[in-house]
Structures are given as C-alpha cells and as structure tokens.
A = this chain, B = another copy of it.
Amino acid sequence: MTDRRSFLKFGAGAAAAGALFPISSQASNGDTKWDQEYDIIIVGSGFAGLAAAVEAKRLNAKSVVVFEKMGVYGGNSTLNAGQSCFAGTELQTKLGITDSAELMVKDQLKAGRGIASESLLRHSAELGPYVYQMTQDCGVKYRDHIITTGGTSATRSHQTIERSGAGFIQPMLKTARELGVETHNRHKFEHLIRNDNGDVLGVQIRRGYHFGHEDSGELINVRCNKGVLIATGGFGFNVNFRMAQDPTLTAEVGCTNAKGATGDGLIEMLAAGATPVHLAHIQSGPWASPDEGGFGYGAGFSLYNFPHSIAIDRNTGQRFMNEIADRKTRADLELQRRDKDGNPQPALLIAPKAEAQKDPSMKKVLKYNVAWEFDSVEAIAAHFKVPLKPLQQQIKDWNGYVANGTDPQFGKRMDAGRGIKLTAPFIVQRLWPKVHYCQGGIQINTKAEVMAAKTGVPIKGLYAAGEVTGGIHGVSRLGGCSTPECLAFGITAARSMMEA
C-alpha cells in the first residue's frame, strides 16, 4: 500500500517535525507536545469503534473521540449483509428456535478446528443479549426473519431491515454523536505514543488525511486519560501483507472489503510489541460471485438461497458440497472446481425462483447480471455446458432428500430448507470465493487488552477490538459471527478503559 518512497518521506517529515519517533510506536520521553486530550481515544468507526463509543458514554466518560481515516464513516462494517448471530434472543424464542451461548460457542469451536479461543468466544456469546438490546436502543431495526448461516446448529443470524451493515452503523453513529462523542473523519492513525515503560499515552494522528496520499494533512499528538482503542479492521486489501501469509492471494484475487482495510493499525500494534496471532488464516467468502466486484449483490442472494438450493460442479452436473457447511469447507471445495486445463470453472448455485423471489436480493442479481433465470433444467445445461442427465438426476435426488428430510450425499441440515423443493423456473448464480475476513490479528484477552509478545501481559493503555484482533475464531469464522464479536469487544474495551 505504502511504498518505500512514501515511507522514507514520512521518516524525513517526522524528523523535521522533531516531536516524535519516525519509524514506529516508541515515542517516549516526557517532552511530547500534546495538541489534544480525551478520556478515551477510539481509532476506527466500524462496529467495534462505535459500540465502544456508545458504551463509554453510557458509562459517563467525559470525553470520547473517534478517528476515522476515510472520508466516510463505518469502514468495512458497512459492506456486509447486516447479519449478526445472537443466541438466546426473544426473537428466536418467538420463532420457536432453541439456542444458547454454549451452543454458539460449540459451533464456533468446531469451525475453529482446534485453535479458536474458547474464552474469547464465550465472552462474546454471553454478551450477545446485551449487544442485541443495546443496538436496538441505538435505533437498529432487525427483521423478523432469522437466517441460517453455514456451520451452525441453530438458526441465529439476526439481520438489519436494510440487509446491510449500514443498518448498524448509521443509527450507532447518530447515537454516539447525540451522546457527545466527537467524530473526525480523514484523521489517520499513524503511531502510538508510549512512555519508557511501554505504556500507551496517546496517538499520533494525521489530520486532514486523504486516502492514498500518505503524506497529506498534518501530524498532531493526542493524549488519552484512560486508554486507546484500536478498532481499525482487517488487512484484506493489503496485498503485500496477505501474500506474505498466503502467496496465492495475489492482486488478481478479489476482495469483498472496503478499500481502507489495509491493516495499518495491526502493523503499528505489532511494532509496539503486540502478539500476532493466526495471521495466515485468511477467510474467503464461499458466497461470492465472480461476475461483480467487491462484496456485491451475489452474497445476499446466495446467503438467502443456500439452504434450499444446490451447488453444482459444471463438469459432473452433480453437487460437490453441503451448501451450508462452514465457510472454509465450502471455499476450499469451490476453489477445486476447474476445467480440464486447471482454470477456474465456478460452480452453479441453482435456486427455485418461487422461493428466491421472496427476498429482495433476487431483483438485484438479475438486474446486475450476477444471476440469470432459466425455465428448465435443459436450459441451464445448455447454457453452462453441464451434462444434462446427471443434472436432471441430481435435482430429482435432491427433491427426494427434501421430502425425506435427510441428505445422504453431504449431510446437509435439511430443516434449514423448510421443505422447499427445487422446481422450475430457476435462478442460477456462479460461485467463486473472494478474500473476505482476516481471522488473524493481534492477541487480546477477555478485557480487550492487547497482549505483549515479550511479556505475555497486557500493554497498559492499549485496547483492541474487531477484525484487527486475532485468535478468537481460529482457522475458520462462521457467517454472521464477526459483527457480534466486534460489537461485544468494542463494548468490553469501553468498560475496561472506564475501569482503568
């Protein structure tokens, strides 16, 4: 993202300013000139940052500031389907769904493949009902329909009526401001400012920053009384850094993230001695379409339709996966769909229009050529050059599974499809994973304190929450489980800072 030139330039600039250490976080000394001061400094205005801001004010913090480097607030959090898994809500009860924090933790531990953090998962899941209520207090509106996401043993993904993360961000931003939180966009976090013991005293901010112009704006030093929360998100768009972890994730590989997801905050905390965790576990979204850029409309369509639809390999005309398995399982299997020369041959998600049309996502994918309507199996086979007879047989078999309530092919949880059969006309979307989420980041404890690599104890004054942290999800994160974690640990960080 930054090149050597701008790196050196900044080095020179800071040296000229004379106030601070140019390379990294280890500004020290008692003679830092402070430009501003707040009780609580929050870097990043996504789910974690805004939840922390609201909670800090609820706990009567005197002064709270949120710095956002981009022109618009919300970061990557605005760009998802607005889903959040909560276990044990009134809405679940109303819909006859039995669930618990314990079950949610169990599902996530399984997806984490042995290296997820049980204590962090439990902390987040148990805070779920509070988060659900608090977001509603902020004005977040949830749909009456709860969604089944892959790898879960209970239907628990609550969704905003906007079907978008903006449905959280906008009311929470409004609430934070009403409570007196200062918010500043185009303010980029550059460095932590620390004393000789390594305690965090504040941050260096580039005020008036314009994304992509690393030396734009001016540097100011901002002091905190209680703590600094880094909630800057993942590094999905930092091609250098993600390729260091996985050389196959070249610039050619799509990414669903907002452009600002460059990992600056993560990298700065590493230089301050934070512990890196699970950076190599980068999740690709199995619901993405290769026929549009970014997160796109296809994700909403496929997420709605996976339970009652089938995914087909074009070479065989057969299913190749449980369409609601966890993300890693599906993404890995989707990436194996290849033509005889080894080139990508995206699988086909075939959905029944009768059901698909009940969700607004269908109109979007048809309008933007991310999915297409077909009147018959023959038409699908002819268009995508899929062997017809195996495909016909597969659809016949599938409808038998729907009738019997069991999937002998891949063990799909058939209750999620609510008995909906796959009949013409069909809507077909292509599936190819995109980089979506960084499970890895810096290590925190259940107080959202950042753990030092050298000592294994928290770095005083430094907190982190959301995708910039790592370890909670392990190898694979389940769908709808980032939002509740971001919100829960943002809230937790605010509580910890107010107790500090």
- Listed in ascending order, the chain A residues whose CB lies under 8 Å from chain B are 2-4, 7-8, 11, 15, 21-26, 28, 114-118, 194, 196-198, 240-241, 244-248, 264, 267-268, 270-273, 275-281, 440, 443, 451-457, 471
Contacts and interface: CB of A to CB of B under 8 A. Distances in A.
Contacts of A267: 273, 453-454
Contacts of A471: 244
Nearest to A6: B455
B278 A451 contact: no
Given A4-B457, A271-B271, 13 more contacts: A3-B457, A7-B455, A11-B198, A22-B28, A22-B198, A24-B24, A115-B245, A115-B280, A241-B453, A245-B277, A245-B278, A267-B273, A277-B279
Contact of A241 (B197, B272, B456): B456
Contacts of A443: 244
Query: Which among A116, A273, A279 has the greatest number of chain B C-beta atoms within 10 A?
Result: A279
A197 B375 CA distance: 65
Contacts of A194: 23
B280 A278 contact: yes
A389 B273 CA distance: 58
Contact of A7 (B21, B115, B451, B454): B454
Contacts of A272: 24, 271
Contacts of A452: 7
A88 B370 CA distance: 52
A438 to B, nearest CB: 12
B244 A275 contact: yes
Contacts of A25: 26
Contacts of A277: 244-245, 279-280
A247 B280 contact: no
Contact of A114 (B115, B248, B457): B248
Nearest to A198: B23
A195 to B, nearest CB: 9
A240 B454 CA distance: 9
Contact of A270 (B118, B241, B270): B270
A244 B472 CA distance: 10
A267 to B, nearest CB: 5
Contacts of A116: 247
Given A2-B454, A4-B455, A280-B281, A247 B11 contact: no
Contacts of A23: 26, 28, 194, 196-198, 273
14 contacts: A2-B454, A3-B457, A7-B457, A15-B196, A23-B26, A24-B271, A24-B273, A25-B26, A244-B277, A245-B278, A276-B276, A277-B279, A277-B280, A278-B279
Nearest to A459: B23
A341 B56 CA distance: 47
A15 B248 CA distance: 45
A329 to B, nearest CB: 15
A321 B166 CA distance: 50
Nearest to A7: B455
A443 B272 CA distance: 18
A75 B264 CA distance: 35
